[in-house]
Structure 1
Amino acid sequence: MGKCYPEKMYATGAVGQTHFGASENGDMIEEGFIDDYMMPNLTAYNETCANLCNAMFSFRMLGIHGQAKYADIIELVMHNSGLSGISVEGKDYFYANPLRMLHNTRDYNAHADVTETPDREGYLACFCCPPNLVRTISNLSGWAYSLADNGVHVNLYGSNNLTTTMLDGSAIKLTQDTEYPWKGLVKLTVESCKSDAFDIALRVPEWATGATITINGEDAGVKATPATYAVLHRNWKAGDVIVIDIPMEATFIEGHQRIEEVRNQVAIKRGPVVYCIETPDLPDDVSVLDVYVKGDSELAVDYQPDFLGGTAIITADTYLRSREQGAMYTAVKKPDWQETRTKFVPYYAWSNRGTAEMTVFVPVVWK
């Protein structure tokens, strides 16, 4: 866990690749890990509790080491594989969080202890994930900031008010105003503080390039290096305004060369949010396995306040490939592509429109 992307962690921050794994001495264990870079999509277990534990562990590591990469993991989990465990209405849950779901491929009633499901459920017989998720969300207010020897570190972005006491006993009040993660502009206002100089440190996410920081409208004179904290040291006063403007470009991401299941495939990510395709956004009788994305496609972002609780969707140029589900292996012929624009939705919001197929990674075609 010393790296931002350990070799057993998914692009969504999820961990625990398999329902059944093995310990180092070969004993079978449930909810386990398998080899590095072995990252199945369809059968990925990724228990909600395990994903949340990834965030909890990272918060403790952040407290020990003070490195921004741990806050990056917290943010990744809480915007993706943690939040995917609960519906947008807040009443239905997932125990497992795969990166791909296909119709009629698994027996979800194979035995009494099955916890993988094709749909969210209002009650989980193994009832650890729902309360763990809710209590973790409630804990985020305590994770958003950390106290350092002479200042405050801003770990997570989201509109809030901070009223606390720094380590020297002095009081501080900050207001954070932002529409993050849909917009990258974050404004922090100092409401009250001590007169002596102290630090306010802003996390620059590891994916953020070209971020800028101003104080009262002027350049802060501090470089916004990705995966670090930009430390602002000065005599602060009430009314001071800090703005960090983080570009929110939608982009394709790809996996390590050794991740066999996503070779020649890409996913879409914008800021900390990972996206996926669902069959409600495809023509009838088209599987997510039939979708290929155009590598040089424009990724158009559109915030829709009345869709899935309010979310930014992304549309991209895709090719649909029609083929029969036949033999295990068949001779190859040039595909008959159907070009179309396809909607991608945040992974955390999938399975809120009925039973659906879904995939995070799709094959990419460059022409």
Structure 2
Amino acid sequence: MAAMDTPTTTEETDRRHESVTRDNGRASKGPITPITPITPSTPLTPITPVAPGSGRLRPLGLDEVRITGGFWARRRHVNATATLAHCHDWMERVGWTGNFRAAAEGRSHRDRRGREFADSEIYKLLEAVAWQAAGEPGGDPGGTPGVDVTELIEAVVSAQHPDGYLNTAFGGPGQQPRYSDLEWGHELYCHGHLIQAGVAQARARGEDELVKTARRAADHVCATFGRGGIERVCGHPEIEPALVELARLTGEQRYLDQAALFVDRRGRGTLADPEFGRAYYQDDLPVRQATVLRGHAVRALYLAAGAVDVAVETGDDALLAAVERQWEATVARRTHLTGGMGSHHRDESFGDDFVLPPDRAYSETCAGVASVMLSWRLLLATGEPRYADLAERTLLNVVATSPADDGRSFFYANTLHRRHRGGPPSGDTVSPRADSGSRAPWFAVSCCPTNVARTLAQLPAYLATKDDRGVQLHQYADAEITTFLAGGHRVALRVRTGYPSGGNVTVRIGRSPDRPWTLSLRVPAWTDGATAWLTGPDGTRRAVPPGTARVTRVFRPGDEVRLDLPMTPRWITADPRVDAVRGTVAVQRGPLVYCAESVDLPAGRDVEAIRVDTSAEPEDGPHGDGGTVVVPGELTAPDGVRAAPWPYRPLGGLPAARSAEPAGIVLVPYHSWANRGPSTMRVWLPTTTPTTTPTPAPTSAPKPRTTDNGR
């Protein structure tokens, strides 16, 4: 390395699949070092939902990263000004907020409203409000327009039992006893969301009554489910990551120990066998033995996130490796093109390997949120960019798809093929979870709106990290970043980008120490097969493959590093083992998946009439900004396929006559579909000629045939 006073530049690129040496300095299991004591009105740093004590990367807090414009700034603004109040208003309307007063007054058996897990929605709203305000300059973490946080907290506090138990569905006069239905009661799940709300409030404001209430609830859980207590688990994981984060906040070892107990107890058959099988709530195999995520998708992902937290804080490399293997197998065989997870409507679960039907894709919004939670934790633990790749895909194509442009209606499930237009849901009643071609304002099971709200609120915390060498950018948005490097050296960065529709990312140095440090930028995996370019402060431009591009030098104020990513639309084909999409292709531009909508077709035509021609490449629409993509193809005439009494025919038989006309098919970003009213939609598009995909070689020679007599 050159002398400190001589500016030098080193540009290095780590390929995506190169092995990453883990930090062997992870703390071994032992007491967590307490951080800043909790004092009233004193925020705790870092102001971030996940603050691991070890690992490869350290997250930057909401006080260090501010999103200033573009795609995500618009959505966070809508979240702050519309979605949070919308969630609060609906929970008032359906009676969920009133459940706490009813519990405090002993009338829950008569007056309680909503499902057994309704308490958790109030907790997620409180968490979202804390993170949203903490990420706004000059924002008051104590409130947001349309949400009286003080009143909500007072109601929650009033319902807590003297021993710390808090649930409005169990344990009161005339109700089922506490923990009498661990399979479906969601009591520990609700406690987990209460604790996460308390952690958010503590990090955003300092200790208040919500924080104290959350700690009392955690103490109750430890006393009740610790060694010698109830040696079972909750049917819905969530308490595990919550307890670990509380341990990180307070330095209390017992919370970490209890989280580790819950992780180790899972898969031991302590829950009753449900109609869906024990895999539904991951009670079929211990976490360390499982090879792929299975069962209810949200449950599986929350459990995996908690297992990563436990592994990182206890130095359990074997547990971390087990979750990494599960993530790899799930991404390779059980994940939709959008990053969505979950193929079964009946039990909201993962399907078998490669069972990914687009028209039956469940891809629950909450599973998308949980997937981002897991990927973020794995990124912090290992530093591997593949985890940020999946988080990006999921954020842009699942999480961003759920809320409408106005932030007041949502998709619960995220199908990839909508066959029937349907009508708009009623604005006055709750809707079924997955039964509409339009977003609904509220659901009988409304876990997704508040999950979207808290994810958008904490989004700045997912953009960047740091380590002893410098700063890493993982997600791209207009942002201002200020942090301190090792030795207390302050760094200030300004990021400008047109992402995700534009591929240019420019990082301008505002402040830098007079010593070398490293700025790292993720080069997304989707650039494979194209060329991304990195330009350093000295003007040198070079091609960079997928992975991490690094610039190491003594930066000066005004220096710029520019990453140019290829945004040409391209055809995507699936692994031939995904039977449901054989003979079809999809289109992706940059990180965004595109779809066809019936509103862009001539009158009387539907998405079922589309055939695309893959002999020519997709092109940007007339504005060239990614708002639309146009693909060559044809549209079958409304009467172009004759009705047949039987939909099957001998191979080689003449197909029904078909008339079609050439057409340029307009596609829009998948996240924007159904914002123009009810429509049909599809992501995977049939081709005018059969697509060719490699056929896997047979694994063995066929066995000889035998007759009934064994010959």
TM normalised by structure 1 equals: 0.89
Deviations 1:120-172 (A, max 9, x none): 11122212111111211222211110112211111011111111222443211
Supply the AA of the counterpart residue of 1:329.
P
Supply the AA of the counterpart residue of 1:280.
V
Query: CA contact under 8 A between 1:4 and 1:73: conserved in structure 2?
Result: no
Q: Provide structure 1 residue ranges, at least 5 long, that are not aligned to the other structure.
A: 21-29
Q: CA deviation at 1:218?
A: 1.4
Q: How does 1:173-188 map to 2 (within 5 A)?
A: 173-188=492-507
Q: Are 2:411 and 1:94 equivalent residues in the alignment?
A: yes
Q: CA deviation at 1:354?
A: 1.3
Q: CA deviation at 1:366?
A: 4.2
The one of 651, 655, 658 equivalent to 1:335 is: 658
Supply the AA of the counterpart residue of 1:207.
W
Query: CA contact under 8 A between 2:519 and 2:552: conserved in structure 1?
Result: yes
Distance 2:644 2:456 in 1: 45
Q: Secondary structure at the match of 1:31?
A: coil
Supply the AA of the counterpart residue of 2:544.
A
Distance 1:104 1:197 in 2: 58
The one of 436, 444, 452 equivalent to 1:133 is: 452
Distance 1:65 1:239 in 2: 32
Higher strand share: 1
Supply the AA of the counterpart residue of 2:545.
T
Give 1:225's aligned residue. Answer: 545
Give the direction of change, closer, same or farther, for the CA distance of 1:64–1:72 in structure 2 (3 Å limit): same
The one of 347, 356, 359 equivalent to 2:670 is: 347
Q: CA deviation at 1:333?
A: 3.8
Higher helix share: 2
Query: CA contact under 8 A between 1:93 and 1:124: conserved in structure 2?
Result: no
Give the direction of change, closer, same or farther, for the CA distance of 1:153–1:303 in structure 2 (3 Å limit): farther
Distance 1:206 1:366 in 2: 29
Give 2:511's aligned residue. Answer: 192
Give the direction of change, closer, same or farther, for the CA distance of 1:303–1:65 in structure 2 (3 Å limit): farther
Give the direction of change, closer, same or farther, for the CA distance of 1:260–1:181 in structure 2 (3 Å limit): same
Give 1:323's aligned residue. Answer: 641
Give the direction of change, closer, same or farther, for the CA distance of 1:50–1:325 in structure 2 (3 Å limit): farther
The one of 346, 351, 357 equivalent to 1:34 is: 351
Distance 1:326 1:120 in 2: 35
Distance 2:508 2:479 in 1: 11
Q: How does 1:46-195 map to 2 (within 5 A)?
A: 46-103=363-420, 114-118=432-436, 119-195=438-514
Give the direction of change, closer, same or farther, for the CA distance of 1:132–1:104 in structure 2 (3 Å limit): closer
Q: How does 1:287-326 map to 2 (within 5 A)?
A: 287-302=606-621, 312-321=627-636, 322-324=640-642, 326=644
Give the direction of change, closer, same or farther, for the CA distance of 1:250–1:192 in structure 2 (3 Å limit): same
Q: Are 2:681 and 1:358 equivalent residues in the alignment?
A: yes
Q: How many residues are treated as equivalent by the alignment?
A: 347
Distance 1:132 1:304 in 2: 34
Q: Secondary structure at the match of 1:276?
A: strand
Give the direction of change, closer, same or farther, for the CA distance of 1:18–1:195 in structure 2 (3 Å limit): same
The one of 258, 262, 273 equivalent to 2:577 is: 258
Distance 2:465 2:610 in 1: 43
Query: CA contact under 8 A between 1:3 and 1:69: conserved in structure 2?
Result: no
Query: CA contact under 8 A between 2:432 and 2:444: conserved in structure 1?
Result: no
Query: CA contact under 8 A between 2:421 and 2:679: conserved in structure 1?
Result: no
Q: CA deviation at 1:327?
A: 3.9
Q: CA deviation at 1:36?
A: 0.6
Query: CA contact under 8 A between 1:177 and 1:186: conserved in structure 2?
Result: yes
Q: Secondary structure at the match of 1:49?
A: helix
Q: Secondary structure at the match of 1:79?
A: helix
Supply the AA of the counterpart residue of 1:319.
E
Distance 1:40 1:216 in 2: 47
Q: Which has the larger displacement, 248-257 or 139-148?
A: 139-148
The one of 337, 343, 360 equivalent to 1:11 is: 337
Distance 1:225 1:46 in 2: 30
Higher gyration radius (CA): 2
Query: CA contact under 8 A between 1:276 and 1:358: conserved in structure 2?
Result: yes
Please report the RMSD computed on the Cα atoms of aligned residues, expressed in angstroms.
2.3
Distance 2:421 2:619 in 1: 32
Query: CA contact under 8 A between 2:432 and 2:443: conserved in structure 1?
Result: no
Q: Which has the larger displacement, 315-324 or 356-365?
A: 315-324
Supply the AA of the counterpart residue of 1:102.
R
Q: Are 2:571 and 1:249 equivalent residues in the alignment?
A: no
Distance 2:496 2:431 in 1: 45
Q: Are 2:581 and 1:270 equivalent residues in the alignment?
A: no
Q: Secondary structure at the match of 1:134?
A: helix
Query: CA contact under 8 A between 1:4 and 1:70: conserved in structure 2?
Result: no
Q: CA deviation at 1:334?
A: 5.3
Q: CA deviation at 1:300?
A: 2.2
Q: Which has the larger displacement, 2-11 or 204-213?
A: 2-11
Q: Secondary structure at the match of 1:54?
A: helix
Q: Are 2:517 and 1:202 equivalent residues in the alignment?
A: no
Deviations 1:213-235 (A, max 9, x none): 112351266x5111x11121111
Q: Secondary structure at the match of 1:315?
A: strand
The one of 510, 524, 536 equivalent to 1:215 is: 536
Q: Using the aligned pairs only, state the percent identity.
A: 29
Distance 2:331 2:622 in 1: 28
Q: Secondary structure at the match of 2:420?
A: coil
Query: CA contact under 8 A between 2:404 and 2:675: conserved in structure 1?
Result: yes
Q: CA deviation at 1:254?
A: 0.8
Deviations 1:30-61 (A, max 9, x none): 21111010001112111100011111111111
Distance 1:270 1:3 in 2: 25
Q: CA deviation at 1:298?
A: 3.8
Q: CA deviation at 1:337?
A: 2.1
Q: CA deviation at 1:186?
A: 0.9
TM normalised by structure 2 equals: 0.47
Distance 1:46 1:16 in 2: 5
Distance 2:660 2:630 in 1: 18
Q: CA deviation at 1:247?
A: 1.2
Q: Secondary structure at the match of 1:365?
A: coil
Query: CA contact under 8 A between 2:396 and 2:591: conserved in structure 1?
Result: yes
Q: Secondary structure at the match of 2:633?
A: strand
Q: Provide structure 2 residue ranges, at least 5 long, that are not aligned to the other structure.
A: 1-326, 650-654, 691-711
Query: CA contact under 8 A between 2:431 and 2:440: conserved in structure 1?
Result: no
Q: Secondary structure at the match of 2:442?
A: coil
Distance 2:520 2:512 in 1: 15
Give 1:25's aligned residue. Answer: none
